[in-house]
Amino acid sequence: MSVDLNGIGPGQVNTPRTTADKSSNQNTKATTGEQNKAQTPAARGENVNLSSQAKNLNQLEQKLGEYPEMNDERIAEIRSALEDGSYKVDAEKLAQKMLDMDKSIFG
């Protein structure tokens, strides 16, 4: 039984292949891949140019990598303030930050 879907013929769809067909196809791909690897990028005509924005992002990423993930000094200050009871929460500031976060999430 043959089905014609909008002009798609038997040669345009996936057809079952024998194991011999698959192995010969893979050998051809491997040979082509080895030939491509042997050529240098310049010989193949490949060239990559980064935009100035990409270069800036790369520099920024390198700079950020130099900073520690946590500010250990600030953590120690807060921890000691919590221990001695001198840490005070500004309720209005906290509420405003919560509203700002809500607005940024839900619009």
DSSP state of 39: S
- What span, in angstroms and rounded, lies between the C-alpha atoms of 62 and 82? 35
pTM over 0.85: no
Q: How far apart are CA 77 and CA 46, in angstroms?
A: 54
Q: How far is CA 56 from CA 8, 50, 60, in A?
A: 48, 10, 6
Give tens-digit pLDDT for 38-97: 555 556 678 878 788 888 898 998 888 887 788 889 999 999 999 999 999 999 999 999
pLDDT tens across 14-51, in order? 555 666 555 555 555 555 555 555 555 556 678 878 78
Q: Where are the domains positioned within the chain?
A: 52-106
Residues 36, 44 contacting (CB under 8 angstroms): yes
Contact yes or no for 89/98 (Cβ under 8 A): no
